[in-house]
Amino acid sequence: MGLDGMEVIAIAVVIGLFVVVLKQFGVWEPLSLEDSCEGDLELSMVRHQPEGLDQLQAQTQFTRKELQSLYRGFKNECPSGLVDEETFKSIYSQFFPQGDATTYAHFLFNAFDMDRSGSIRFEDFVIGLSVLLRGSVTEKLRWAFNLYDINKDGYVTKEEMMAIMTSIYDMMGRYTLPSVRDDSPYEHVERFFQKMDRNRDGVVTIDEFIETCQKDENIMASMQLFENVI
Amino acid sequence: MATGVAAWLPFARAAAIGWMPVANCPMPIAPKDSNSKRKDELIVLNVSGHRFQTWRTTLDRFPDTLLGSSEKDFFYNEDIKEYFFDRDPDAFRSILNFYRTGKLHYPRHECISAYDEELTFFGIIPEIIGDCCYEEYKDRKRENLERLQDDQEENKDMKLPNMNCRETMWRAFENPHTSTMALVFYYVTGFFIAISVITNVIETVPCGSTANQKDMPCGERYTVAFFCMDTACVMIFTVEYLLRLFAAPSRYRFMRSVMSIIDVVAILPYYIGLVMSNNEDVSGAFVTLRVFRVFRIFKFSRHSQGLRILGYTLKSCASELGFLLFSLTMAIIIFATVMFYAEKGSSSSKFTSIPASFWYTIVTMTTLGYGDMVPKTIAGKIFGSICSLSGVLVIALPVPVIVSNFSRIYHQNQRADKRRAQKKARLARIRISKSSSANTFLHNKCNGLLNELLELTDTEEDEQKLNKSTSLLESQHHHLLNCLEKTTAHEFVDEQIYEQNSLDTAVQNYHSRSPSLNSNDDGSVGTCCGCRTKRNTPLPNASMPCSDPVPTQQRPLQELSAIHIGSGESQTTSRSKLNLKTNDNVRINCKGGRITTAIISLPSPPALNLDADSLRGPPQRRPPPPPGHPAAPSIQTTASSAVTNIFKVSAL
């Protein structure tokens, strides 16, 4: 018996509905159910507890009370105990509403995330803060150098500096006086390298950096600026 | 500033060290934090006895609120070293949680206005309620607003004393319960609408055959009778429409309103029929016009609140109805096409074209299933069954939305009705409690003046008896009212005494009119509310709430117009309003009230000069009765209606 075109379609529709009903009963494609279960498990495991208070006290320059206060604030903001990059970027961006702080936040995140785990734990956070607020000038300069050195190879190249500078100028946004020109970052990098790069080899090493900064009064004065933030 | 991330500010500042080596100029000096030595400490917030403790920095996260700013220092109690707030501790929980977590939640068991007040007190704007609770909050707030709007609209119904004929009529039309005339009119129009509709229906019923013809409808058999009935109804409707048009405050807006359009559509066919009754060519159109007569039934919506609710629901569910219509149309077209092509093969199929299949699809999707068109091929049957199954779904989906909308509006209306019914009793009870305070003031005035009289007559025991102990608050309040009296040189009085005085002054000034006055007085009492007769007799202690406040306002007006006191009629109307506010149902503990008339007849001050300030003072305290006055005045009546007296005295 020859099947009409419409009858073929009708039979196809009926088969399709049948499959849908089977899917409802879980008879068809049972594998898909298991996958979804595993996904849920993964998320709930992500949590982090910091090291003990005593160890942190040993590693940083903060007092016990300060550590307690810091941890309370940290845990309040991030109940899971970890800050991932997206959250970090969004928090940091809120302080610079006119511009785009995401790139600089990315560099900052990498500077704090010392073990490159992709998230900042409380230890990273507090160790970084300890250097910035309670460390010696040399330590602070070392930290700043670490920030500029994007690939952490010990040398700051012009490209790395250019990236950092662009991200800093991005935070300013469009509405500035005088306006940020396209080559402002480039000029700024040129001036920086002229000052820092002693042997004119195109890169700045840590020693050159520290040496130059120690000779500059402005920089030394500004390093002490945030002594009593906490 | 992003207050929510204030906790990260120290971190952001520390990270700024990264810019220092790059900068070319010196940095500005950092602001000094004088409180830096104040380490993070626990603060105790005592809210009506419940102690909440939190870190100071938690509260500092939101510096533009009460708790985050120095405003809380106003609430610091030195003795207990706590911040004490005299507020609801339950609502405070969610507010404190806002500081802790950065998210404000709305607790569902909390009353919306109470919660709003708490938020306002603590300086938190409700817009930052988290997404989880924001919709609920907005819904409750909207509900509350609607409720308040209902109450406000009812207050607008209160009759203003200076309404002219047109406004009165409009009010009578819109709100039939305001006067008997309006009620009568309402029922009469309702009756005639019903008559008209029934007539239209019966017109078409076959009335039984006459000798020469077969069954003909009643309308053709008793043409004259039906025509007369129709004419009567249309005349009533026309008169009603014209009256409404005249009375409407904004005629243009009235003419555009739905109800007036219905009115016009209901009565136009008749007039058009009159004009072209004998023209055979347009009789077909004339018959069509008769269909519009059925629109008279919509006039019932003025009489039925349920109909109005239904109409309002349909209007407010317009989007859901539109969606229903759209999805149905889509499904009909799809299935009609499919059925047409499926049934194309079979012989003698009724599915001659796609539009012809529309009928089948509609009948099937609404599960009517007349059976005049049925598919015969297998494919057609398969698709036909899918069509009927999907029809049920498509129709069932938007219907609950419409139903819930209707239910919400209906319940709201019921609540409004209940509130309106309870409102009168509520207001009466509130008025009693308010009037008792005004009562005490006048009472104390009586007693105070009585005390002064008694001082002169040296009866100390009575004086002490009358010196009931009033609370400090009361005595201060009374002192305030006294000051106001002295400032304006007017006095608060009981309404009844005031009216009696106004009558009596008329008696004094218009002797010839006294008999007519009495009859007028009785006449005015006899009409309208039965409350008036009661109000005439002064009851010593009871304050009787007359449930309908309208007559009390009207009464002084009516009497004034009857008595024709020329001077200061407007003054007295405003005065009567003041009376209504302060002592609506007051019966002070003083008897009689005829003393004041004597004052006018004797312009010179009496023997007792207790108060030396003005001519107005002494007349208030006249113990000895003047000669020639019919009623025996009693001493206690010192609360005189000084208003009319005052301006009368000055006129003298």
Residues of B in contact with A164 (CB under 8 A): 22
Higher model confidence: residue B153 or residue B229? B229
Q: Which of A142, A222, A227 to mutate to test the interface with B (most CBs of B within 10 A)?
A: A222
Q: Which of B4, B25, B100 sits opposite A218 (nearest CB)?
A: B25
Residues of B in contact with A4 (CB under 8 A): 345, 377, 379
Kindly determine whether residue A6 and residue B345, on different chains, have CB atoms separated by under 8 Å.
Answer: yes
Q: Which chain B residue lies closest to A162 (C-alpha atoms)?
A: B22
Identify each DSSP E strand in B352-459 by its residue range: none
User: What is the reported pLDDT for B116?
Assistant: 92
Interchain contact B21–A (C-beta under 8 A) = yes
Q: Which chain B residue lies closest to A131 (C-alpha atoms)?
A: B14
Q: Which of A76, A132, A221 sits opposite B17 (nearest CB)?
A: A132
The reply to whether omega before B355 is within 30° of 0 (cis) is no
Mean pLDDT score across all residues of chain B: 73
A118: left (phi over 0), alpha (psi -120 to 50) or beta: left
DSSP state of A28: S
User: What is the reported pLDDT for B94?
Assistant: 92
Q: How confident is the model at residue B120 (pLDDT cuts 50, 70, 90)?
A: very high
Most confident of B36-45, B241-250, B446-455: B241-250
Tokens 């202690």 found at: B541
Mean pLDDT of B633-637: 39
Mean pLDDT of A128-144: 88
User: What is the reported pLDDT for B28?
Assistant: 79
Q: What distance in Å separates residue B356's CA from the closest CA in chain A? A: 19
Q: Which of B17, B33, B344 sits opposite A223 (nearest CB)?
A: B17
**Which of A54-63, A68-77, B79-88 has the least mean pLDDT?**
A68-77
Judged against a pLDDT cut of 70, whether residue B511 lies above it is answered with no
- What's the pLDDT tens digit per position in A139-176? 888 988 899 988 888 888 888 889 988 888 888 877 77
Kindly determine whether residue A14 and residue B382, on different chains, have CB atoms separated by under 8 Å.
Answer: yes
Between A and B, how many CB-CB pairs are < 8 A?
A: 118
Answer yes or no: are the C-beta atoms of A120 and A113 closer than 8 Å.
Answer: yes
User: What is the reported pLDDT for B634?
Assistant: 39
User: What is the reported pLDDT for B340?
Assistant: 93
Mean pLDDT of B601-606: 41
Kindly determine whether residue A165 and residue B22, on different chains, have CB atoms separated by under 8 Å.
Answer: yes
**Which of A18-27, A131-140, B379-388, B632-641 has the least mean pLDDT?**
B632-641
Mean pLDDT of B496-500: 75
Q: What distance in Å separates residue A34's CA from the closest CA in chain B? A: 30
Reduced DSSP (H G I as helix, E B as strand, rest coil) percent helix, strand, coil of chain A, to 5: 65, 5, 30
Kindly determine whether residue B20 and residue A219, on different chains, have CB atoms separated by under 8 Å.
Answer: yes
Residues of A in contact with B383 (CB under 8 A): 10, 13
Interchain contact B252–A (C-beta under 8 A) = no
Judged against a pLDDT cut of 60, whether residue B640 lies above it is answered with no
Q: Which of B17, B33, B344 sits opposite A144 (nearest CB)?
A: B17
Mean pLDDT of B557-567: 38
User: What is the reported pLDDT for B356?
Assistant: 92
Residues of A in contact with B9 (CB under 8 A): 95
Residues of B in contact with A9 (CB under 8 A): 379
Exposed, middle or buried by CB within 10 Å (0-12, 13-18, 19+), for B399? Answer: exposed
User: What is the reported pLDDT for B354?
Assistant: 92
Mean pLDDT of A195-199: 84
Answer yes or no: are the C-beta atoms of B391 and B365 closer than 8 Å.
Answer: yes
DSSP state of A98: S
Q: DSSP letter string over B31-63?
A: PP-GGGGS---EEEEEETTEEEEEEHHHHHT-T
Interchain contact B18–A (C-beta under 8 A) = yes
Judged against a pLDDT cut of 60, whether residue B529 lies above it is answered with no
- At residue A126, φ and ψ (nearest 5 deg) are -80, -30
Residues of B in contact with A10 (CB under 8 A): 342, 378-379, 382-383
- What's the pLDDT tens digit per position in B141-164? 988 887 787 777 666 656 666 678
Kindly determine whether residue A129 and residue B11, on different chains, have CB atoms separated by under 8 Å.
Answer: yes
AA identity, residue A116: R
Residues of A in contact with B23 (CB under 8 A): 218-219, 222
Q: How confident is the model at residue B405 (pLDDT cuts 50, 70, 90)?
A: confident
Residues of B in contact with A95 (CB under 8 A): 2, 5, 8-9, 12
Partner A, chain B 583-602, Cβ-Cβ below 8 Å: none
Residues of B in contact with A7 (CB under 8 A): 377-379
Mean pLDDT of B467-495: 74
Kindly determine whether residue B13 and residue A226, on different chains, have CB atoms separated by under 8 Å.
Answer: yes
Q: How confident is the model at residue B118 (pLDDT cuts 50, 70, 90)?
A: very high
Q: What distance in Å separates residue B345's CA from the closest CA in chain A? A: 9
Partner A, chain B 315-354, Cβ-Cβ below 8 Å: 341-342, 344-345
Q: Which of B10, B22, B55 sits opposite A230 (nearest CB)?
A: B10
Q: How confident is the model at residue A42 (pLDDT cuts 50, 70, 90)?
A: low
- What's the pLDDT tens digit per position in B325-365? 888 899 999 999 999 999 988 888 889 999 999 999 999 99
Judged against a pLDDT cut of 60, whether residue B559 lies above it is answered with no
AA identity, residue B129: I
Kindly determine whether residue A69 and residue B33, on different chains, have CB atoms separated by under 8 Å.
Answer: no
- List the end-to-end C-alpha distance of chain A, in Å, as a whole number: 89
Mean pLDDT of A180-189: 84
Kindly determine whether residue B39 and residue A164, on different chains, have CB atoms separated by under 8 Å.
Answer: no
Kindly determine whether residue A188 and residue B22, on different chains, have CB atoms separated by under 8 Å.
Answer: yes
User: What is the reported pLDDT for B319?
Assistant: 84
Q: How confident is the model at residue B34 (pLDDT cuts 50, 70, 90)?
A: low
ipTM above 0.95, yes or no: no
Q: Which chain A residue lies closest to B341 (C-alpha atoms)?
A: A6
- What's the pLDDT tens digit per position in B367-379? 999 999 999 998 9
**Which of A28-37, B115-124, B505-514, B571-580 has the least mean pLDDT?**
B571-580
Most confident of A45-54, B97-106, B556-565: B97-106
Alpha-carbon gap, residue A221 to A146, rounded angstroms: 20
Q: What distance in Å separates residue B10's CA from the closest CA in chain A? A: 6
- Which long-range contacts (C-beta less than 8 Å, at least 24 apart) are formed by A202-211? A202/A157, A202/A158, A203/A155, A203/A156, A203/A157, A203/A158, A204/A155, A204/A156, A204/A161, A205/A154, A205/A155, A205/A156, A206/A142, A206/A145, A206/A154, A209/A141, A209/A145, A209/A156, A209/B21, A210/A138, A210/A141, A210/A142, A210/A145
Kindly determine whether residue A147 and residue B9, on different chains, have CB atoms separated by under 8 Å.
Answer: no
Residues of A in contact with B11 (CB under 8 A): 125, 129
pTM equals: 0.54
Kindly determine whether residue B55 and residue A72, on different chains, have CB atoms separated by under 8 Å.
Answer: yes
